[in-house]
Amino acid sequence: MSESLLNLVPKAEAAQSMKDFKSDQEVRWCPGCGDYAVLAAVQGFMPELGLAKENIVFVSGIGCSSRFPYYMNTYGMHSIHGRAPAIATGLATSRRDLSVWVVTGDGDALSIGGNHLIHALRRNVNLKILLFNNRIYGLTKGQYSPTSEVGKITKSTPMGSLDAPFNPVSLALGAEASFVARTVDSDRKHLTEVLRQAADHPGTALVEIYQNCNIFNDGAFEILKDKDQAQEAVIRLEHGRPIRFGTDLTKGVVRDPATGDLRVVTVTPENESAVLVHDAHAASPTTAFALSRLADPDTLHQTPIGVFRSVERPVYDTMMADQLDTAIEQHGKGDLGQLLAGGDTWTVVG
Amino acid sequence: MTSQVSNEAGEALVGEQRSVPAGSHHGEEKEVRRLDRVIIRFAGDSGDGMQLTGDRFTSETASFGNDLSTLPNFPAEIRAPAGTLPGVSSFQLHFADHDILTPGDAPNVLVAMNPAALKANIGDVPRGSEIIVNTDEFAKRAMAKVGYETSPLEDGSLAGYRVHPVPLTTLTVEALKDFGLPRKEAERSKNMFALGLLSWMYHRPTEGTETFLRRKFAKKPQIAEANVAAFRAGWNFGETTEDFAVSYEVAPATKAFPPGTYRNISGNLALSYGLIAAARQADLPLYLGSYPITPASDILHELSRHKNFGVRTFQAEDEIAGIGAALGAAFGGSLAVTTTSGPGVALKSETIGLAVSLELPLLIVDIQRGGPSTGLPTKTEQADLLQAMYGRNGEAPVPVVAPRTPADCFDAALDAARIALTYRTPVFLLSDGYLANGSEPWRIPDLDELPDLATPFATGPNHRTADGTDVFWPYKRDPLTLARPWAVPGTPGLEHRIGGIEKQDGTGNISYDPANHDFMVRTRQAKIDGIQVPDVEADDPDGARTLVLGWGSTYGPITAAVRRLRREGQPVAQAHLRHLNPFPRNLGEVLKRYEKVVIPEMNLGQLATLVRARYLVDARSYTQVNGMPFKAEQLAAALKEAIDV
């Protein structure tokens, strides 16, 4: 990886602690909400970055998770539904000395704001997008979301929802994302490691965080959290390591030679060498996409977590700044008097 | 030039074209007449290059020193089916030896490149006018396509016109025969032949056009030279053919222009320059978030060319992202702008509301076009005034500034920026299609004439709490302007969070307190109501009983109509609004001085609605929504009727 764009952001003068990032505002999520865990993880991780906190900005949209900026003692904007990536794009592209984070939810990012999300990803603006996915609408009190499973019974879908859900990781990969990861609210260590990699990534980093809504969709990710079930359900992706999971790592992911698709097999001495080694830096997103399709959208069985893809490609903000520099090199610094007097002119004497 | 001051001769002569023999100093064999003003309309197929032809004639005319005003008129389709009425594109230019205000009501000269162009435009051309037709295009099929059963050139339907039948295509191809171009390619230069002919007819300087052609086709020198040759051939044709016995001089409008250096400028270009100038005067980087939309896209194009001024232009995925990015940049300390037209404003409404709530400076440039919905993308209208005023949820007041002429877009942009920066508020700049594409001479300002827009950011705490701690309150207001501090990220100690949820006065913390909300709503309104704008001045030399009140681009036609009435001895007062929100403080008092108030608008009476509601004045509307600016004559008649009633 090349030099991190974090070098453009001023460093904190003194060592920081988690406390420095807690604002004076009372946190108003429901007791037991998964958002608390994410907030604590982010506040706990920030001192590690060592950035001047006045140069950190959290921008959010609308929804439960979008209250996040109020609780961070940094600069922040709680904007309008779905628009945070657009607003953050304007901020990040005009202020490269800032570390800009977007906090959004499955409704905010994938429903009303889907357009802004995919375009931020394809441009590769230097944003870190934390997508809290609880597979339900919380703030509007319990309607199905664009990540809810088909047939979900909610207040707005008493006979079951009809929509096929989005897989946010697949969507992000399809939108040319250069960094895509998934993690889980309750796994502080994993969450922090993913944040670490995302923060360091030059360009847009999309982090899907499975987050429990204990009021309207409690236990949605229980299979990934329950110790007994998780071993069989969770596939932990680590760059450069064979993709194995299950009790005693008896299962592995291999490529089907006939279709090129991925499938899960029981690992034997004969097929062990065929187990796929995870390459997050692969130039092609094909395998990452195949990995994102392993999970069963209903049961979440065989859900990969970790960094699916982390590749380097030109960052929009950098290129925008470069064009400004190039324009000055080519034409000199803009001279307003010259500009206004350009074109055909004539003089009237008094 | 559209200053209200006009030389006496100009006042006396606006209206009918005046012709004086000027002697034949330009060549013994041809008569030269002197005219005080001319209105030319070039009309052809969308692919015939009429806009370019008009632009070039305009440039020649501007550099010659005439006053001028232009009206491009083109279909929304890029290339409508060739030879059809919907595919006709035209460019009207009015130029004079005195101060003029509009592109003119009716052409003195129509250049019709095909039957469709003739048919679509002949209704606007008074008998006695000159019509130059490209006879090559008047084949049976082409005529039948637009419903001519017999040739209008032969059936007497053009009786009373001075028709010049010219085989423009044939002559062009003939002139270019040595270039070895395919016939189709050679034919494309026929617009330059026409331009050459008209340039001869009106004694226009030609160097500018030749330079322009060589620059435009720098990579295709053969095409450049072919176009120059066609242009010269057109000129020579005029000079030699007997059909054109007379040429005309229109003297420079020396008295109409105060001393200075001038250039011709369109509204969108002036507006773009105004934005760049505002950023310089504010010492802030300019950030444009925009999505292409007619007729605003030219501002995006223009600003994109000036990155060496530190201008960032962001072509967003949609209108909402355009303004979203601009708002994000405003939070970061840029002079932020979004440019659009009416449909885009509708999409941006929620973000404008957020900007009202965040109290950040933001310019929303709306180049109005015919509506509702997609409406008439390339035509003009003023029907977004109420959308700008009220098109948001909740009480969300936004200042509204409207330029009156193409060149005035420069000053209006600076003024809108002043309000946005001083009061930390989104501001609407309401231009329209007529101003955007129309052009006029502009006196280039000296840089030291430009206003100082320096806007300090907050740098430290602004409040001491009861326990003596110094803190930063993002919503503690300046007592004079009621503006809140602009504290940009990167400023240590001022970390704060803002959002669209109602905020507690002062601290900016989330507050659902009823009394606080009532206070905040009223305070945001009071801030906008308190914006300093100059008083409106009524121009009323004769002590009239009727006031005609306008806003925006109707300034030219209204002023021309008022001049006509006064010339006929009919007193009428005129006032024109740049600031629609807040209104000038003295507006109510001015309105009450008159027995009658007439408000011409290119909508169904939106300003009239505001004025009636606000001042309880029985203002009458005179409205037109045909996608075109008012014509002075028709407006004068309507005003006369209103006065007489």
Domain CATH number, residue B38: 3.40.920
Q: DSSP labels for B12-70?
A: HHSSS--EEE--STT-TTSEEEEESEEEEEEEEEGGG-HHHHHHHHHHHHHHHT-EEEE
* Domain endpoint, select from B194, B224, B251: B251
Cα B379 to Cα B73, B75, B626: the distances in Å are 7, 8, 8
Residue B148 lies in a domain: yes
Please indicate if any CB of chain A lies within 8 Å of the CB of B216: no
Tell me if B61 is assigned to some domain. yes
Least confidently predicted of A297-301, B28-32, B39-43, B480-484: B28-32
Q: Does the beta-carbon distance from B324 to A79 stay under 8 Å?
A: yes
The last residue of a domain, from among B532, B558, B577: B532
DSSP state of B309: G
Q: Count Cβ atoms below 10 Å from residue B21 Cβ, excluding itself.
A: 10
Looking at the domain assignment, is residue B247 inside a domain? yes
Question: What sign results for the dihedral spanned by CA atoms B95, B98, B100, B105?
Answer: negative
Residues B405 and B516 in one domain: no
Please, which pLDDT band fits residue B23 given cuts at 50, 70 and 90? low
B35 and B150 part of one domain: yes
pLDDT band at residue B79 using 50, 70 and 90 as cut-offs: confident
Average pLDDT over residues B454-460: 97
Q: How far is B293 from chain A (nearest CA, A)?
A: 18
Token pair of A317, please? 């903000």
The whole-number pLDDT of residue B256 equals: 86
Question: Is pLDDT of B78 > 90?
Answer: no
Longest dimension (CA), chain B: 96
Q: For residue B347, is it within any domain?
A: yes
In the structure, what pLDDT confidence band is assigned to residue A345 with cuts at 50, 70 and 90?
confident
Task: Please report, for chain A, the start and end positions of each structural domain, with discontinuous segments joined by +.
Answer: 5-234+315-328
Gyration radius (Cα) of chain B, Å: 27
Are B137 and B278 in a shared domain?
no
Q: Identify the pLDDT of residue B28.
A: 54
User: Does a structural domain hold residue B235?
Assistant: no
Q: Cβ of B326 under 8 Å from any chain A Cβ?
A: yes
**Counted domains in chain B:** 4
* CA A19 distance to own-chain centroid: 24
CA-CA distances (angstroms) from residue B398 to B352, B390, B401, B541?
9, 8, 10, 34
Asked if B74 and B121 count as a contact pair (C-beta separation under 8 A), the reply is no
For residues B582 and B462, state if they share a domain: no
pLDDT of residue B627: 96
B502 shares its domain with B595: no
CATH code for position B559: 3.40.50.920
- Closest to A347 (Cβ–Cβ): which among B62, B261, B334? B261
Per the prediction, chain A carries an average pLDDT of 96
Looking at the structure, tell me whether residues B345 and B444 fall in a common domain: yes
Question: What is the Cα–Cα distance from A304 to A301, expressed in whole angstroms?
Answer: 9
Kindly state whether residues B477 and B588 are assigned to the same domain. Answer: no
In this structure, are B366 and B333 located in the same domain?
Answer: yes
pLDDT tens digits, one per residue of B342-355: 999 999 999 999 99
Q: Are residues B469 and B332 in the same domain?
A: no
0.90 cut: is pTM over it?
Answer: yes
User: What's the CATH code of the domain at B322?
Assistant: 3.40.50.970
Encode pLDDT of B461-473 as tens digits.
Answer: 999 999 999 999 9
Beta carbons of B62 and A344 less than 8 Å apart = yes
State the residue range of the domain holding B640: 546-644
Judging contacts by C-beta atoms under 8 Å, the chain B residues touching residue A72 are 497
B273 touches A: beta carbon within 8 Å = yes
Percent with pLDDT over 70 in chain B: 96
Nearest Cα residue to B146 out of B77, B81, B83, B89: B83
3-class DSSP state for residue B326?
helix
| Residue B90 within any structural domain of the chain | yes
Residue B498 sits in the same domain as residue B597: no
pLDDT tens per residue across span B613-634: 999 999 999 999 999 999 999 9
B13 pLDDT higher than 60: no
Whose structure tokens read 């049961």? A299
**Tens-place pLDDT, residues B332-382:** 999 999 999 999 999 999 999 999 999 999 999 999 999 999 999 999 999
Q: Which residues pair with B60 in a beta bridge?
A: none
Q: Which chain A residue has its CA at the smallest distance from B407's CA? A: A340
Q: What is the pLDDT of residue B22?
A: 59
Verify that B386 and B271 share a domain, yes or no.
yes
Q: What is the mean pLDDT of residues B91-101?
A: 96
The residue behind tokens 């098109």 is B391
Nearest Cβ partner of A91 from B329, B444, B495? B329
Tell whether B107 and B76 lie within a shared domain. yes
Q: Which of B431, B449, B467 is the last residue of a domain?
A: B449
Classify residue A228 by burial, with Cβ atoms within 10 Å: 0-12, 13-18, 19+.
exposed
Query: What pLDDT shows up at residue B8?
Result: 31
- Taking only the tens place, the pLDDT of each residue in B278-290 is 999 999 999 999 9
Amino acid at the residue B246: V
Q: Do A79 and B354 count as a contact with CB atoms less than 8 A apart?
A: yes
The full DSSP string for B386-452 is HHHHH-SSSS----EE--SSTTHHHHHHHHHHHHHHHHT-EEEEEEEHHHHH-EEEEEPPPGGGSPP
**Alpha-carbon span B95 to B61, nearest angstrom:** 7
- Alpha-carbon gap, residue B417 to B411, rounded angstroms: 10
Do residues B621 and B608 make contact, with C-beta atoms less than 8 angstroms apart?
yes
User: Domain A5-234+315-328 has what CATH class?
Assistant: alpha beta
Residue B173 belongs to a domain? no
Q: Is residue B221 part of a domain?
A: no
Q: What's the pLDDT score for residue B11?
A: 34
